[in-house]
Amino acid sequence: MSMKRKLFLIMVVLFCIVILVVSILFFISSFSKDNKQEEAIRTDKEAIINRFPNIGDFEKCYWKSGVMGSGGRWVPGPSDYWMKGFIEIDAVKVKYYIEKYDMKVLDENLQISFIPENYDNTISKWFYSKEFNDFKKPPSILGNFYIDSANNMIYFEVVIS
């Protein structure tokens, strides 16, 4: 084999190795980026009222949201996002909702994703009914609404497209 041919083959192999290493680094970097930002607890009522018009009047809310999936430079980002939160209501409304919608006590404790200030999750008593859930959220939104009668809170976990 001639010297030129050996040099050409070495150059081709080196070029392929460089391309392979760069591709692997790019691939790894796209997965290692933490696209999940630390979601801040939000307290603005407008976002809740706009998405859940049947929620009615309430004093305070505490909620978080984020995008589902990760998206990336080369792939379009996700269009779905999640919301989880608490809506503070008075004890009269809690009793009204439980009676009107024939809500049943849940046997297990909910696995809530965050706890707002002044919330005692050790005393929670959770209620749920499909009728209450279907009334509070539009049909296009997936998820559930629960009532904590001990803390006078509505808790929700939803996915919005």
**Percentage with pLDDT > 90 across the chain:** 56
Q: Where are the domains of the chain?
A: 1-32, 45-160
Model pLDDT for residues 72-108, shown as the tens digit of each residue: 555 666 678 999 999 999 999 999 999 999 999 998 8
- Beta-sheet strands, E only, within the chain: 60-67, 81-88, 104-105, 126-128, 142-148, 153-160
The pLDDT value given to residue 9: 80
Tens digit of each residue's pLDDT (9 = 90 or more) over 8-44: 888 878 887 878 777 776 666 655 444 445 578 999 9
Residue type, 46: E
- 8 Å CB contact between 155 and 148: yes
Pull the structure tokens for residue 81.
């996002």
Does the structure show a pLDDT above 60 at 62? yes
Tell whether the torsion through CA atoms of 58, 149, 104 and 157 is positive or negative: positive
Q: Is the pTM of this model over 0.75?
A: no
Residue 14 per-residue DSSP state: H
The region of weakest confidence among 8-12, 76-80, 123-127, 144-148 is 76-80
What average pLDDT does range 107-126 have in this prediction?
Answer: 89
Q: Where does 1-160 show beta strands of DSSP type E?
A: 60-67, 81-88, 104-105, 126-128, 142-148, 153-160
d(CA 50, CA 46): 6
Distance CA 10, CA 17 (A): 10
